[in-house]
Amino acid sequence: MWSNMKRGLVAAMTLSAAAALALGGCGSSNPGSGGGGAITLKLVAADYGTGPQNSSQKYWQGIADAFHKQNPNITVTVQTINWNDFDSQVKTMVQNKQYPDVLEGDYFPDYAQAGLLYPAKDITSPATFSNLLPVFAKLDTYNGTQYGMPFTTSARTLFYNKQLFQKAGITAPPQTWADIQTDAAKIKRLGKMGFGLPLGPEEAQAESLLWFLGDGGGYQDASGNWAINSAPNVAALQFMTGLVKAGDTEPNPGTKNRTDLWKQFAQGQIGMINGSPALIPIIQSGGVLTSSDWASVPIAGKLGPLDKTLGVCDNVSVFKTDPSKKAAITKFLNFFYQDKYQIQFDQEYDLLPATNSAIQALSSDSTFGPFLKALPNSVQYSSAPVWTQVKTQIQQTIGTAMTQDPKQVLDAIQQTAQKGA
């Protein structure tokens, strides 16, 4: 019997080896982009969807198909990567020199520094270029030249669950850190989570910056020098540690990611959480909270609500792959920057547009209006090339400040920032 089994195993292994070979064969027979004037462009984009039914793959494939209909000799292949893996997969791609033609998602200033990208001006028509939202131009600029092009934007606000607030007997939305502390404690007594604090690797750099801003801190000081280990930042982390220790947040925030906590908020399990418009579709698809059960207000600061917030934009960057593709890429960019597609994207994912004309078209919208007003006042991440390394370190280590000395954690990050790229 033993030998029977072995024979079976060998057969199975032979089969799977053959299958692997066959698959490998398929992969390598991918047609090049050269022959007969046919051009293939590779688009890599982040997936903003919450599941297969609203995957960004669909959005981009729709654009790619429409574009191909107009330009039969240009084919755009679309690959989307979910946000959790986006940074690490793109980095691996670039480290292995497998550049996409067009990348949409996080912007990496060091790629501009390395000379990998086309300047935005060279790859778009003047009309498209001048239509890009100017607020984010500085963020996308390296050495005086703009490389990144904003594609979609969002501003952060504080979301709270009105139902839970009512049950806990809280009448006003939170405005200060003290409010957050007392409100969270009251909600905790209902058996729910008071405040959702996502300090896991997914987007810890955003959550911590919102707290730093609340104390007058930030990653850089007014003159643009790194100030990561400044006193206000340390104080902010200490305050957050206090919340965690009191059990007003989820346990072990350093291991909890934004996406998971947003889903819990949508299920009515969390009293307050910092969010962006992207949280709205998650709430809607959760089917637990109706639109009157939640609201969003400006981010709470130490002494009062913030008059500025974190403005985040996701960008398009274009890699210098094959010079013969340049004209085709320009055509494609001009095509997908049409208002129609900007608005389609924002309605699908409740994000904000990144072009002047699309903003105008949406300015009277009741959902988007407040966020659009916050955009011009927004604070942004650094555009220095070393930000890539700093961001990675914040994502990996800032959660440990909840159990260790915050000053030491911030000192280590500051050291990385000052060492430079």
Partner 1 sequence: MVDIARASGVSRAPARRPGRLPAIRRLRRAVTPLAWLGPAIALIVVVVLWPVYVMFNTSFQHFSPDGFLLGPAGSRNFTDLFAESGLSGILERTVIWVVVVVGVTMLISLALAQLFNQRFPGRRVARWALIAPWAASVVMTSLIFRWALDPNSGVINVFLHDIGLIKSFGSNEADWLGRPASALIWMIVVAIFVSLPFTTYALLAGLQTIPGELYEAARVDGASHWRVYRSITLPLLRPSFLVALLINVINVFNSFPIIWEMTQGGPGHETATTTVFMYQLKQAYIGESAALSVINFGLVIVVVLVFLKVTRWRDQVTA
Among 100, 173, 194, 201, binds partner 1 (CB under 8 A): 201
- Give which of 213, 235, 246, 260 is closest to 381, Cα–Cα: 213
Q: Is 418 in the site for partner 1 (CB under 8 A)?
A: no
Using CB under 8 A, which of 83, 108, 129, 341 touches partner 1? 108
Which residues in 281-320 contact partner 1 (CB under 8 A)? none
Judged by CB under 8 A, does residue 397 bind partner 1?
yes
Under the binding rule (CB under 8 A), the answer on residue 406 touching partner 1 is no
Position 96 contacts partner 1 (CB under 8 A): yes
Cβ 161 to partner 1 shortest distance, Å: 15
Q: Which listed residue (87, 183, 203, 215) binds partner 1 by CB under 8 A?
A: 87
The stretch among 159-167, 246-254, 305-313, 353-361 that binds partner 1 (CB under 8 A) is 246-254
266, 285 Cβ separation under 8 angstroms? yes
Closer Cβ to partner 1, 330 or 389, answer by number: 389
- Is 110 a residue that touches partner 1 (CB under 8 A)? yes
| 380 is a site residue for partner 1 (CB under 8 A) | no
Q: Which candidate, 302, 294, 244, places its Cα nearest to that of 269?
A: 294
- Under the binding rule (CB under 8 A), the answer on residue 388 touching partner 1 is yes
Q: Which CB sits closer to partner 1, 252 or 360? A: 252
Options 38-46, 93-101, 131-139, 162-170: segment touching partner 1 (CB under 8 A): 93-101
Which two tokens mark 172? 């006003």
- Which residues fall within 8 angstroms of residue 240, CB to CB, at 6 or more apart? 197, 211, 249, 253, 401, 402
279 versus 398: smaller Cβ distance to partner 1: 398
Smallest Cα–Cα separation from 205: which of 408, 389, 419?
389
- Pick the closer one to partner 1 by CB: 111 or 371: 111
Distance CA 105, CA 103 (A): 7
**Is residue 207 involved in binding partner 1 (CB under 8 A)?**
no
Neighbours of 238 (CB within 10 A): 14
Please give the helix or strand (H or E) that residue 194 lies within, else none.
strand 193-196
- CB 258, min distance to partner 1, A: 14
Asked if 256 touches partner 1 (CB under 8 A), the answer is yes
Alpha helices (H) along 105-203: 109-113, 120-123, 126-131, 162-167, 177-189
Q: Is 355 near partner 1 (CB under 8 A)?
A: no
Alpha helices per DSSP H over 114-230: 120-123, 126-131, 162-167, 177-189, 204-214
Residue 200 binding partner 1, by CB under 8 A: yes
Cβ atoms within 10 Å of 212's Cβ, excluding its own: 24
- The number of residues that bind partner 1 (CB under 8 A) is 40
Query: Rounded CA gap, 343 and 62, in Å?
Result: 14
- Residue closer to partner 1, measured from CB, 269 or 347: 269
H or E stretch covering 241 = helix 231-245
Cα angle: 212, vertex 215, 221; to 5 degrees: 65
Among 13, 114, 190, 327, binds partner 1 (CB under 8 A): 114
393 forms part of the interface with partner 1 (CB under 8 A): yes
Under a CB-based contact definition with an 8 Å cutoff, are residues 320 and 116 in contact? yes
Q: Which residues bind partner 1 (CB under 8 A)?
A: 1-2, 5, 87-88, 91, 94-97, 108, 110-111, 114, 116, 191, 193, 200-201, 247, 250-252, 254-256, 264, 269, 388-389, 392-393, 396-397, 399-400, 402-403, 412, 421
